[in-house]
A = this chain, B = another copy of it.
């Protein structure tokens, strides 16, 4: 609680004007100088809506760089939009800060947020900043746009569809272990490899560039945020189908391959851990070539890892020995 400065602004208004107004470049945001913002989707389009929060000591480390915390908070939401075939339009932010948060933390946070708001063409439309007796919490509500009726669903997969994923799977969960010094001695990662894995944990890469191609070619889609095994199970359940996945075809990064070569048990964690922020999607076999071409043009690697099959059984992840892997837990859950 404080008084007003020379311009009659409260400290809270001054903070907003200094750090957040420069990120609010859409005319409807009114420079964050009003209580609400306004927005109309382009003709023939509808909004795609998502809210996801990240919490200090849960989703990131309290000493993670503040600019990366801001980017992660925005990107986990942008990842969802991309997987739904939607382009970003804007976001709202609720930021809870513990007492004693330093000015330079906030400065770095706002810098990171601004960089990504610009990089992803997703301006800030409003929000609030509150003191909290708890850890930093960054709640983002993002809205994107798609042509009306064209949002990709979880529940539209059909038996016979090819199952594909973007990028590589399991890096983030390994990055978290590196960050926690929880790496078996047999795993000899050089500095670059360690940094690559930690980077995947800290900073998701939303597949925004693939949104249009997904809308054109995919049948069902969702992002992989709680682990490939559990997220594919969700997609299958919503679609009333099952899937056969060849584990050997699941794309792994070079550091992840080195990790698994020395610690084969890590593979289960990689398939069931969270924070991948890749897109999992299915499409008719005759669309695969067109999708691969569109993905190459968008600069996003895509890999076929198996097939959608009929039935209500959980998806099978089949190893090199032809046997299905058994998972003690299939996904990250907060509860």
Judging by beta carbons under 8 Å apart, are B154 and A55 in contact? Answer: no
CB distance from A305 to the nearest CB of B (A): 19
Please choose the segment from A38-46, A166-174, A187-195, A263-271 that sits at the chain B interface, where 4 or more of its residues have CB less than 8 A away.
Answer: A38-46
Complex alpha-carbon distance, A122 and B81, angstroms: 23
Q: A51-B92, A86-B36, A92-B49 are in contact. Are A132 and B15 (CB under 8 A)?
A: no
CB distance from A9 to the nearest CB of B (A): 8
Q: Is A306 an interface residue (CB 8 A)?
A: no
- With a CB–CB cut-off of 8 A, which chain B residues contact A13? 234, 333
Q: Is A30 an interface residue (CB 8 A)?
A: yes
Query: Which residues 221-260 of A have a CB within 8 angstroms of B?
Result: 222-223, 226, 230, 233-234, 237-238
Q: Is A4 an interface residue (CB 8 A)?
A: yes
Q: Copies per complex? A: 2
Q: Is A158 an interface residue (CB 8 A)?
A: no
- With a CB–CB cut-off of 8 A, which chain B residues contact A328? 3
Closest to A1 in B: B333
Q: Can you list, as one digit per residue, whether each of A127-165 has a CB less than 8 Å from chain B (1) or not (0)?
A: 111111111010101011010100101110000000000
Q: Can you list, as one digit per residue, whether each of A93-115 has a CB less than 8 Å from chain B (1) or not (0)?
A: 11010000000000000000000
Judging by beta carbons under 8 Å apart, are A4 and B330 in contact? Answer: yes
CB distance from A13 to the nearest CB of B (A): 8
- With a CB–CB cut-off of 8 A, which chain B residues contact A80? 35-36
Judging by beta carbons under 8 Å apart, are B11 and A53 in contact? Answer: no
- Taking residues whose C-beta sits less than 8 angstroms from the other chain, chain A's interface range is 35 or more
Judging by beta carbons under 8 Å apart, are A139 and B53 in contact? Answer: yes
- With a CB–CB cut-off of 8 A, which chain B residues contact A125? 49
Q: What is the predominant secondary structure among interface residues of chain A facing chain B?
A: mixed
Q: A38-B46, A49-B38, A52-B128 are in contact. Are A238 and B2 (CB under 8 A)?
A: no
Complex partner residue of A36 from B54, B84, B332, CB under 8 angstroms: B84
CB distance from A136 to the nearest CB of B (A): 9
Judging by beta carbons under 8 Å apart, are A134 and B131 in contact? Answer: no
Judging by beta carbons under 8 Å apart, are B94 and A335 in contact? Answer: no
CB distance from A228 to the nearest CB of B (A): 14
- With a CB–CB cut-off of 8 A, which chain B residues contact A84? 35-36
